Every structure is written in C-alpha cells, then in structure tokens.
Amino acid sequence: MTDNRDSQSAAPRGALLGVGWFLCAVFFLYAFVQRVAPSVMVDDLMRDFTVGGAVLGNLSAFYYYSYAGSQIPVGVLIDRYGPRRLVTLAAALTGIGSVVFALADSLWLASLGRLLIGFGCAFSFVGALNYAALWFPPNRFATLGGWAQMLGVVGGVLGQAPLGYLVEAVGWRTAVLGLAVFGLVLATATALVLRDRQRPANPATGQRHSLLAGLRRAASTGQVWLAAGFGMAMTGAMLAFGGLWGVPYVERAYGLPKAEAAALVSMLFVGWGFGAPIWGMVSDRWSRRRRFMTVGGVLATAGIAGAVYLPGLTLVSLAAILFVQGFGAASMVLCFAVARENTPSWSAGATLGIVNGFVVGSGAVLQPVLGWLLDMRWDGTMVAGARVYAIEAYESRLPGAADHLRLRGAVDPVHPGNRGTGVRGTALISPVDPGPCSGGDRAGSASSGWRRPRVAWRLRGNPARRPVRHRRFRPA
C-alpha cells in the first residue's frame, strides 16, 4: 500500500511557502549578478591576469561550464532529495567560490573560483521552479517562473551599472568579497525557511521511483528537447552580449565610460524583467504557449540585429532596441512550462535540468567563441595593459539574426482543464501529468487506462527541406 501520509498532511502555511519560493528566486537574482559580473571587470581582469579576449571569455565561461554541465545531475538530485538541503548547500558553495575568485593570484585559481560559483548557482533557477511545482497549483507555474526570471534579471541589472560603480569605487576584488558575504547570508535564510515535500510513488509498485527514472522519462520526450532548443536560442545573444561583450562594445562605439555603458546595456535586462512575468501570465491566462513564443522569438531576433547592425543609432534608440530584444527573449520562460507539462511530476527536476542546461549552455559556448573571434580581428591596440578591439571587429563577430533559431511546433499544449488532443499547426501534444497538486500521475498507469498520445513535432523552417518527423509512443 502506498504511503500517502506526507501528501495528506497539512501543508505549511501559505506565507511560509511564499517566502520560501521568494528566497529561491532571490538566489536566482544572486546567480544572475554572478553571471554578468565579469562584464564590468573586463579591463581589470585582463590587466591583473595578463590575458586576451579569448582567455578572458574562457575564464568568464567557467561559470557556464559548471552551471550548464551540472543541470541534469542537479535536476535528478532535487527530484530525490528535495530543494531545502540542496539549495542551502549551493548558496553556501557560491559564497565560498566568490572568496576563491576574489583572492585568486593566478589564472587557474580564478578559474576554480568561477567554476565553484557556477556549480552553486546551478541550483538557483531549477530550485525556484521545482519549489513552485512542489507547493503551488500547476496553472501558476509559468507565472511564478516569469516572476523568478524577472528577479533574475533584476540581478542582471544590479550586476551592470550598480556593480560597475562599486568596482570603480573599491576595486573588483572587494566587490566580489561583498557578493561572497551575501551568498553565505542567503544560505542561512534558506536553511531556516524552505520546506521539502515527499514525491509521489510509482503507482505500479507503490515504491518511490528510482534515482534515474525521472531522467529517463524526461530524455525520452521529444517536446523537452525542442523546448530546450528554443530556450537556448533565446538566451544566446543575451548571455554573450549582455553578459560579457556588450559593455566594452558600447564603450568603444559610443565613447561612454564603463558605468554608463553598463547602464545602457542593462536595458536588455530591464526588457527581460518586464517581459518574463508578462509572457508567463498571458500564457497561463489563455492556455497557449506557441503563439507567444513565436512573437517573442521574432522580437528578440530583430532587437539584437538592430543593436549591432543599424547605423547611426542614438543612445535613446539603442536603449529602446535593447529593451525590445530583452522583452522578446524573455519568452524563453515558456519553454520550461512546455517541458513541464509534457512530463510527470516525479520527473520535474530532471526535465527542468535538461532545459536549463541548454539555456545556460549558450553562454558557455558563445562567450569564449566570441572572444576568440575578436582576438582574430585584434589590431594590436592596448590601453592600460588591456586589449582594445576596433568597432569593426565587434560588428563582424557579434551574433546577428542568424544566431537566433526560431523553434516552433514544440509548444501550445492542452491544459488539464481542457484535456483531449489539440492540433495547433504541426504540433499534436498533450501533457502527461496534470501536476503535483491534482491527484496523482497518469503517465504509465495501467489502472487508469490512459495512454500517451502520438506526438508529431517539427523544427519549423523550409518545408521542402525540413520534413515532418513523427515520433510515436505506443502503449505497453
């Protein structure tokens, strides 16, 4: 007989759960500050460690190597052990990594610090989404994900102009030590407030699912991979341009000091912050995903292309374009809802880990690649021991419209309240699980008589060159 004592017991008070989710979202804010912090330290890091653009891009990307590379294990671990202990340990590890980075006197030690920071931050967004899936109704998942993204982008804004002013005032090492203290305080708060919840058991055996069962279930779902690809496409330009190379580009192109250039680039994050909760709320309101993701993809592509290639932009025009790019790219928050709605609740952590690994992996790839490409166009100019790249180098190397893949046909699921099969363009999809608060899992349950529907999906492009691919799920 299945033990349902945990699910039947009274849940913690709503206020406590709300504060717990907010702390997870603040952890994501903190992770975003850590993510973009090197963009206001470019000259200082080049000078202190005597490196060029390619090596600096690699140093910054160590955050993404550990963050993106650990997302699947992070999801599996959260599925098994819950967010409370893992989020607490991760926040503490981020603070320790910040200490290592701030005190580093060699490149390898600085890389180790960034690696530890990235691994700790890997639990931030997945932790916030997992906490929302555990304790809140399914029809609030995209909305809470959007608000978490908004807080993360607030961190991106704080990591630009405010952190830039702090770095100029006290130096980059002291500023990073301040971030370390914040991480340790946050770890203490999460240990006191967060609550775990027992996962549903396997209906066939009455036992808990195995450690890798959620990963196998998520990896076998085509919609998860398409959602991950869309998220990666939407975040690539933001992490490469806004996360590292945007500030030096604006400094050179418009003759602005570092702090003002960072403030201008932060408009990208402001747009993201406004867009994320809006995309989440309207998508939940109308129970649609694909159409909003399509509009967001078009806006994001047009925004980054205009910021780099339109000639004679005024500062106001550039700020507006960056805002539009961030607003459109924020539609990536819907990719988590698409993936979550097509997998059962007991595999939520692994599902979100796969998607978030692709999302952040775009930064791990593009930051060092762009640094290497800029080094190829470097004309030998140096200022105060740091390499200076010409405007032509940026305009020929920064990602334009071709770097934004528009993945369509992986979205617009039918919500539990309107179950059945829904045909929207080329996608025929239906969620396999109504959510953790709706009375149990239906995927794979022999007793319910329910079978997973056939799923047809396609990468939308030239119909003559991209044939429809059908993936059939047959009943056991």
**Which CATH number fits the domain that encloses residue 170?**
1.20.1250.20
Asked if residue 285 is part of any domain, the answer here is yes
Q: Which domain holds residue 117?
A: 14-195+213-457
Contacts of 7 (CB under 8 A, 6+ apart): 197, 198, 200
The number of distinct structural domains making up the chain is 1
The listed range with the strongest mean pLDDT (58-72, 105-119, 239-253) is 105-119
CB atoms within 10 A of CB 474: 7
Predicted pLDDT at 467: 39
Q: Are 336 and 189 in contact (CB under 8 A)?
A: no
Tens-place pLDDT, residues 150-159: 898 788 778 8
187 closest CA partner among 101, 102, 123, 116: 123
Q: Tokens 């196998």: give the residue.
A: 216
Amino acid identity at 104: A
Q: How many CA atoms lie within 13 A of 354 on its CB side?
A: 28
Tens-place pLDDT, residues 161-194: 889 889 989 999 999 999 999 999 999 999 999 9
Predicted pLDDT at 15: 82
Tens-place pLDDT, residues 351-394: 888 888 888 777 767 777 777 777 777 777 777 666 777 766 66
pLDDT band at 263 (very low <50, low <70, confident <90, very high): confident
Task: Put residue 206 in one of left, alpha, beta given phi > 0 → left and psi -120 to 50 → alpha.
Answer: left
Q: Which of 40-44, 190-194, 247-251, 420-424 has the lowest mean pLDDT?
A: 420-424
Q: How far apart are CA 287 and CA 281, in angstroms?
A: 10
Assess whether pLDDT exceeds 60 at residue 438.
no
Bigger pLDDT: 471 vs 146: 146
Predicted pLDDT at 441: 42
Asked if residue 142 is part of any domain, the answer here is yes
DSSP-derived letter for residue 402 is G
Predicted pLDDT at 295: 92
Q: How many CA atoms lie within 13 A of 230 on its CB side?
A: 36
Predicted pLDDT at 211: 61
Asked if residue 446 is part of any domain, the answer here is yes
Amino acid identity at 369: V
Asked if residue 246 is part of any domain, the answer here is yes
Assigned token pair, 280: 């989440």
Q: How far apart are CA 92 and CA 114, in angstroms?
A: 14
Q: Are 326 and 275 in contact (CB under 8 A)?
A: yes
119 closest CA partner among 239, 34, 208, 219: 34
Asked if residue 392 is part of any domain, the answer here is yes
Amino acid identity at 10: A
Q: Tokens 């991760």: give the residue.
A: 90
Segment holding 386, helix H or strand E:
strand 386-387
Q: Are 228 and 339 in contact (CB under 8 A)?
A: yes
Asked if residue 6 is part of any domain, the answer here is no
Q: Please give the mean pLDDT across all residues of the chain.
A: 75
CB atoms within 10 A of CB 404: 22
Q: Are 104 and 113 in contact (CB under 8 A)?
A: yes
Predicted pLDDT at 100: 95
Asked if residue 474 is part of any domain, the answer here is no
pLDDT band at 217 (very low <50, low <70, confident <90, very high): confident
Asked if residue 470 is part of any domain, the answer here is no
pLDDT band at 419 (very low <50, low <70, confident <90, very high): very low
Q: How far apart are CA 99 and CA 62, in angstroms?
A: 16
